[in-house]
Amino acid sequence: MRSLVRLTVLSALAAGLAGPALADAAQGRFIHPADADKNQKVSRAEWLSSGESAATFRAADTNRDGFVVGPEFAAWFMKKEGIAPFRASARDTAATVDRLVKR
């Protein structure tokens, strides 16, 4: 699952470089390999068929609507991996981009 999340995140970041092939990620759509019907949410059945457990689905589906959507998935994954939520200001983001461009 971790590699799938990295792929999803990298797809979103690369969309600006790769063009239309990754347009969905660039537009903020929830892209996850377990989303078999491509409706931008992962049902319990899809989740279980991806190899995850019912317990992890309950943990990720915080609003208990029977689906895991992008923000729920991101929050669940970050909590599971011990990653603090990232909130950057526009100034911080611009400074990071400037540093990367200067390399």
Residue ranges in the chain assigned as alpha helix (H): 2-18, 23-26, 44-49, 54-60, 70-81, 90-102
How far, in Å, CA of 57 to CA of 48, rounded? 8
Domains and CATH numbers, the chain: 2-102 (1.10.238)
Average per-residue pLDDT in the chain? 74
Condensed to tens digits (0 to 9), the pLDDT of residues 56-94 reads: 999 999 999 999 998 888 888 888 888 776 665 666 666
Whether the CA torsion 43, 49, 54, 57 is positive or negative: it is negative
pTM for the structure as a whole:
0.58
What pLDDT is attached to residue 75? 87
